[in-house]
Structure formats: structure tokens, C-alpha cells
Structure 1
Amino acid sequence: MSSTSQLAKRFREVLLDGLWIANTNFKDQLKDVTWETATTKVGSLNTIAMLTFHINYYIAGLVNVFEGGDLEIKDKYSFDLPPIESQEQWEALLNKLWTDSEKFAALLEQMPDSKMNEVFVDEKYGTYLRNIDGMIEHAYYHLGQITLIKKLLN
């Protein structure tokens, strides 16, 4: 199995269907969350909706680069979630996360392994491998937060 296929598999595990590292994934944790629960604040913690938006913001930004576009995302906008006031709006956010995640993994699988050592957009960002590994680690970090917030709300 190529390196890019292995990375795509690891990415899908945390977002869509895996149980290996955390014994859960985003899709599993979010499947039964209502929009009211997703937008409920616990102390000073981010909401589940905010964390969902945040992780998708970065996934969509990397997808844009994978498709030949520019790196247009900025950290300062990564929590700019528009208000969610219905189940339909929450489900739209979730569907965007699932679609963007599958697109990310599919584009990654199509990359040659040699691409992993190339500069990602600008030398200051390191290589493609560093950014893809970072995305996977970032997703696990926020998956843990979502899991804990869910427990606090239940």
C-alpha cells in the first residue's frame, strides 16, 4: 500500500469510519447530536458545532490546495461559524464535513508518494506530509474535545 493510501486510510479513520486509535470517529460521535446539543455552551469550552466547523474549515482549505488552488484559509477565521438555528442547518454542516472529508481522502489517494516530500504552498508550512499528518492529529485532538463535551452535556 502506498504512503498516500495509508495516509488517506488514517484520515478516514478519524473522520468517517475508524475505531483504531480512539475507538470512535467524528461521524460516530456526531450521528446522534441534535442542533440544540451542538450549539450548547459548556462553560468556556467551544461548542460541538464550533469544533465541527473548525475542523471542516481546515479540511476544505487543504482540499482547495489539493485541487490546485491557493491556500486561502486563515487561523483567525477558523471559528467563524455562522449561527445554527435549526436541525437542517446543523445537518448541512455535517454533510459538508462528510463530503469534504471524503474528497480530501480521495484526492490524497491520487497523489504520488513523491508529493509528500514537496513543499506545501510555502516553505514556512513544511511539506505535504507534515500538513497531512498535522490535519490527522488536529482532527484527533478535536474529536477528543467533542467526545468530552458530549459526555458533559448528557
Structure 2
Amino acid sequence: MESSEQMANRFREVILNGTWIANTNYKAQLADVDWVQATTKIASFNTIAALTSHVHYYIAGILNVLEGGSLAIRDQYSFDFPPITSQEDWEKVLSRFWEDSEKFAHLVEQLSESMLKESFTDRKYGSYQRNIEGMIEHSYYHLGQIVLVKKMTQEIHR
């Protein structure tokens, strides 16, 4: 199997359908979270909605590059999102997240071995492979946070 296919499958595992590393994924964890739980603040932790939107921000930014666009995302804006004030808002966030994640995985699968080694928009960012693997690792990091915050918010909303 090509490296690009392996990375696409690993990305799908953490976001859409896998259980191998964390025994869960974003889609499974967020399936039963409503907008109230998603926006519930626990101490100084980020909310489930903020973490979800943050991960999606980076997926969408890299997706833009994979689709031929520029790298327009900036770390300083990675937690700046409109407030979620209804179930409809939350469902739109999730819908875009799943849709962009599917596109992301599909485009990663299409990358050649030589493209994976090329610089990602600028040499300072490393290769395409490094950025895709970083996205996977970043997603697992925040998935763990979502799992913990979800458990804490479930206690509140019982």
C-alpha cells in the first residue's frame, strides 16, 4: 500500500471511523453530543465545540492547499470561531467537519510518493508527508481532550 493510502486511512481512523489507536474517533465521540454539551465550559478547558472547530480549522487549511490553493491559516486564529447558539449551528459545524475530512482523506490518497516528499507550500513547513502526519497526530491529541471534556460535561448534564 502506498504511503498516501496509509496516511489517508490513518486520518479516517481518527476522524471518521477507526478504533485502532484510541478505541474511538471524532465521529463516534460527537454523535451524541448536542450543542449545549458541546458549548459547556469546564474550568479553563476548551469546550468540545472549540476543540472540534480548532481541528477542523487545520484540516480545512491543509485541504485548501491540497485543492491547489494557498496556505491561508494562522495559528493565532485557530480558536476564533462564531459562537454556537443552537443545535442547527452545531450540526452545521459537524457537517462541514465530516465533509472536509472526507475530501481531505480522498485527496491525500491521490498524492504520489514524490509529492509527499515535496515542500508543503514553503520549505520551512517541511514536506507534505510531515504536514499530513502532523494533522493526524494533532487530531489524536485533541480527541483525547474531547473524550475527557465529554465525560466531565456528561456529569453536569445528567
Same fold (TM over 0.5): yes
Count of residue pairs brought into register by the alignment: 154
Question: What residue number does 1:102 align with?
Answer: 102
Please state whether the residue corresponding to 1:19 is helix, strand or coil.
coil
Question: What residue number does 2:83 align with?
Answer: 83
The one-letter code sitting in structure 2 at the alignment partner of 1:97 is F
Q: Distance in 2 between matches of 1:135 and 1:115?
A: 17
Question: What residue number does 1:132 align with?
Answer: 132
Q: 1:45-124, aligned counterparts within 5 Å? A: 45-124=45-124
Q: Distance in 2 between matches of 1:113 and 1:18?
A: 24
Q: Distance in 2 between matches of 1:43 and 1:69?
A: 38
Stretches of 4+ aligned residues off by more than 6 angstroms: none
Q: Distance in 1 between matches of 2:77 and 2:121?
A: 19
Shift in Å at residue 81 of structure 1? 1.5
The one-letter code sitting in structure 2 at the alignment partner of 1:73 is I
The one-letter code sitting in structure 2 at the alignment partner of 1:40 is T
Please state whether the residue corresponding to 1:68 is helix, strand or coil.
coil
Q: Distance in 2 between matches of 1:149 and 1:46?
A: 8
Cα root mean square deviation, aligned: 0.5
Q: Distance in 2 between matches of 1:153 and 1:57?
A: 23
Question: What residue number does 1:152 align with?
Answer: 152
Worse-superposed segment, 107-116 or 129-138: 107-116
Please state whether the residue corresponding to 2:94 is helix, strand or coil.
helix
Q: Distance in 2 between matches of 1:153 and 1:110?
A: 39
For the pair 1:40 / 2:60, whether they are aligned, the reply is no
Overall identity of the aligned pairs, in %: 63
Q: Any unmatched runs of 5+ in structure 2?
A: none
Question: What residue number does 1:10 align with?
Answer: 10
1:76-95: CA deviations, max 9, x gaps? 11101201010000000000
1:83-128: CA deviations, max 9, x gaps? 1010000000000000000000000111112111110011110011
Please state whether the residue corresponding to 1:44 is helix, strand or coil.
coil
Please state whether the residue corresponding to 1:115 is helix, strand or coil.
helix
Q: Distance in 2 between matches of 1:84 and 1:67?
A: 28
Q: Distance in 2 between matches of 1:144 and 1:35?
A: 19
